[in-house]
A and B are shown apart, each in its own frame.
Chain A
């Protein structure tokens, strides 16, 4: 069961190619915008400015219905603001237009990268498809949805795991566990898209081959209570349990427990390996996020964490590594916290914190654009699409009538599946189509021109 060559992590690494400088410049600009947004109040005539800015609209209103009271009010307002004492004059002879258009690299040293203005893509506000998901367990700490690299979606409903093939929309049942072992508490596809791990309430983990529909093995003894979160790193299956322990299991060998990470005091609900497979982020019900680094592994004692991030004030289940900037991690806090925080996992520094107003259940980065998608609970149960790094809301997708606990992204990065306690599974075309669909290098000529652009 060699998952090495088909690892999805290496795929992700190939896609991230953004030079670090560009990111920093952008952030400096958006920070400056926030600083400058309120200019020096004492020197500005705010009333005048406000009136001038809204004046145009008011004029349009007056053209339709104008009561004498309103007219008098306008006059009074104008007088108090010295409006009628001002005349605006423009110089009559208009200056000559510039003769030639030079590219913006000329003369002015522009700090912005010259980016062609793309038309804004349309983000459909409603789900493209809604499927029925009866008996979906409404438990914040579980991870019952995962989309594999073979384009098959796995969802756990009660004691059963179903597989939904996205290419032909067919559903099949993988396994139904016994009542005493179930319900299923987590599902996670291996990088090869063929093998799948299923975590159970009785603390066991089953490994299945989805194409052969055959169970390969059961991992026992790694946890004392239910396994709510899992993450793959090549042949290592990392499991997080309600007991607060995180265990690295090498699925190829008999004695599968190779490493244990101790640090969480309560249930581990979020678990994600970075794209490089070097760092693991874990979030727990103890409001703590730990960053574990493989380079710190020791055979003798339990491995020490690299960073312990305690800024969240509620359980952290939502974790997402940024695909285009390594060492950038986004975390989302639960009902008492409601923030999304960004971290540099090299230094452990918190880069930004955004209050979303609602419990953050899940986070997904876009593979095509610099965008982040978050799913929320009370009151709107919405999915929010944010522009990164400005963290401006680009869209809010409504539809679910209960907190959107589970989200998964399609392997091509265009579609997001979300499931909630309202027993629906919805699909959203929120990430759009990839900008450049490069299939295979065509001619030598094209390769050469690509080199120029990289410079």
Chain B
């Protein structure tokens, strides 16, 4: 686990940032695995790729309070059409960022909330439309404009879905960062709208 203060119930900005970025790691892995974007065998390789890099950057942004949301986009490999969009929006308590105060919340409580979201992601396969074709994924970060862009990231368009179906999942709150999860997906052929 990343650095956390000794007294378990006290959450600092750094601690909260660590929790949130760890959550993103788990969530991203879970989404890729459950949605079948990568077959099981190659999953170990994919896990090592890129996601740790993503996490360290996120932590930096989270500590600065500059990260607004993280979006994982699943697109068709052939047509590059966006099929699914996992949106994690972040609300940062600006007091904590500016004044460096800390908050109180039980570790167990936060973990429980995160577990609830993970379970929801896993069970989302029951209603999300099948991804029949080969897919690739992309990660987008919505940040404040005054953030310097590290060389591993480039500017991008939001990669939205037109007329999506949206499902809101549970959220979790460290009292410093509040993360909401929303998945939007392209309407399935079945529900011709």
Complex contact B171–A87 (CB within 8 A): no
A90→B157 CA distance, assembly (Å): 8
Q: For A110, what are the chain B residues with a Cβ–Cβ distance below 8 Å?
A: 125, 130
Task: Report yes or no: B131 in contact with A36, Cβ–Cβ below 8 A.
Answer: no
Would B130 and A45 count as touching, CB distance under 8 A? no
Q: Which residue on chain A has the smallest CB distance to residue B153? A: A89
A33 close to B36 (CB less than 8 A): no
**CB neighbours of A387 from chain B (8 A):** 192
Q: How far apart sit A32 and B185, CA to CA, in the bound complex (Å)? A: 14
Q: Is the CB of B50 within 8 A of A95?
A: yes
Cα distance, A56 to B157, chains bound together (Å): 10
* B42 adjacent to A99 (CB under 8 Å): yes
Measured between beta carbons, the chain B residues less than 8 angstroms from A92 are: 151-154
Q: How far is the CA of A94 from the CA of B157 in the complex (A)?
A: 15
Give bound CA distance, A120 to B193, whole Å.
12
Given A93-B50, A107-B39, also A29-B190 (CB < 8 A): yes
Write out the residue numbers on chain B whose beta carbons fall within 8 Å of the beta carbon of A104: 36, 130-132
Are A394 and B192 in contact, CB atoms less than 8 angstroms apart? yes
Q: Are A112 and B129 in contact (CB under 8 A)?
A: yes
**Alpha-carbon separation in the docked complex, A364 to B50 (Å):** 56
Which A residues lie within 8 Å of B42 (CB)? Answer: 98-99
Report B99 CB to chain A, min CB distance, Å: 21
Is A43 positioned at the interface, with any CB of B under 8 Å from its CB? Answer: yes
| Closest-CB distance, B43 to chain A (whole angstroms) | 9
A254 in the interface, Cβ–Cβ < 8 Å?
no
B160 in contact (CB, < 8 A): yes
Distance in angstroms between the alpha carbons of A301 and B35 in the assembled complex: 62
Tell me, rounded to whole Å, the shortest Cβ–Cβ distance linking A103 to chain B.
Answer: 9
Inter-chain CA distance A30–B127, complex, in Å, is 9
Contact between A114 and B130 (Cβ–Cβ < 8 Å)?
A: yes
Interface size of A by Cβ–Cβ distance < 8 Å?
50
State in angstroms the CA–CA spacing of A300 and B149 once bound together.
90
B168–A94 contact, CB under 8 A? no
Distance from B53 Cβ to chain A, minimum over Cβ atoms (Å): 8
A101 interface hit (Cβ, 8 Å): yes
Interchain CB contact under 8 A, B147 and A87: yes
Interface residues contributed by chain B, number (CB under 8 Å): 63
| A435 vs B133: C-alpha distance when bound (angstroms) | 24
CB of B46 within 8 A of chain A?
A: yes
B64 at the interface (CB under 8 A from A): no
Given contacts A91-B152, A95-B49, A104-B130, contact A86 B39 (CB under 8 A): no
Q: Cβ of B37 and Cβ of A98 under 8 Å apart?
A: yes
Complexed CA–CA distance, A39 and B120 (Å):
15
Instruction: Report the minimum CB–CB distance from B155 to chain A (whole Å).
Output: 6
Chain A 181-212, CB-CB to B under 8 Å as 1, else 0, gives 00000000000000000000000000000000
| B156 lies within 8 A of chain A by Cβ | yes
B128-171: CB near A (< 8 Å → 1, else 0) gives: 01111111111111111101010111111110101001111001
Task: Please tell me if A106 contacts chain B, counting CB pairs below 8 Å.
Answer: yes
| Chain A residue contacts of B68, Cβ below 8 A | 86
- Please determine whether A36 and B138 come into contact, CB atoms closer than 8 angstroms: no
* B89, B136, B167, B193: the one within 8 Å of A97 (CB): B136
For residues 113 through 149 of chain A, which have their beta carbon under 8 Å from a beta carbon of chain B?
A: 114-115, 117, 120
Contact between A85 and B144 (Cβ–Cβ < 8 Å)? yes
Contact between chains at B145 and A86 (CB < 8 Å):
yes
Contact B144 A86 (CB under 8 A): yes
A216 in the interface, Cβ–Cβ < 8 Å? no
Is the CB–CB distance between A88 and B144 below 8 Å? no
Chain A residues contacting B167 (CB-CB under 8 Å) are 36, 39
**Complex Cα spacing A106 to B182, Å:** 26
Which residues of the partner chain B approach A392 to less than 8 Å between Cβ atoms? 191-193
B39 touches A88 (CB 8 A): no
Nearest CB of chain B from residue A241's CB, rounded to whole Å? 42
**Cβ–Cβ contact A89 & B156, under 8 A:** yes
Inter-chain contacts of A117 with B (CB < 8 A): 189
**By the criterion CB–CB under 8 Å, are A94 and B143 in contact?**
no
Which of B36, B39, B165 meets A100, CB within 8 Å? B39
- CB atoms of A108 and B125 under 8 A apart: yes
Chain B residues with CB under 8 A of A89? 140-143, 149, 153-156
- Does A448 reach chain B (CB closer than 8 Å)? no
User: Which residues on the B side are within 8 Å of A26 (C-beta)?
Assistant: 190
In the bound complex, do residue B36 and residue A107 qualify as a contact, i.e. CB atoms below 8 Å apart?
yes
* Cα distance, A113 to B126, chains bound together (Å): 12
* CB-contacts of B19-33 with A (<8 A): 33
Q: How far is the CA of A88 from the CA of B39 in the complex (A)?
A: 29
Chain A residues near B54 (CB-CB < 8 A): 91
Q: Which residues of B contact A97 (CB under 8 A)?
A: 77, 134, 136
Is B40 interfacial (CB 8 A cutoff)?
yes
Contact of B145 among A37, A84, A102 (CB under 8 A): A84
Asked whether B102 is an interface residue with its Cβ less than 8 Å from the other chain, the reply is no
Q: Which residues of A contact B (CB under 8 A)?
A: 26, 29-30, 32-33, 36-37, 39-40, 43-45, 52-53, 56, 84-102, 104, 106-112, 114-115, 117, 120, 387, 390, 392, 394
**Could you list 26 examples of A-B contacts with CB < 8 Å?**
A36-B127, A36-B166, A52-B160, A84-B145, A86-B142, A86-B145, A87-B155, A88-B157, A89-B140, A90-B140, A90-B155, A91-B139, A91-B153, A92-B152, A92-B153, A95-B49, A96-B45, A97-B136, A98-B135, A99-B39, A104-B131, A106-B39, A107-B39, A111-B125, A112-B190, A117-B189
Residues in chain B within 8 A of chain A (CB atoms) = 33-40, 42, 45-46, 49-50, 53-54, 68, 77, 89, 125-127, 129-145, 147, 149, 151-158, 160, 162, 165-168, 171, 180, 182, 188-193
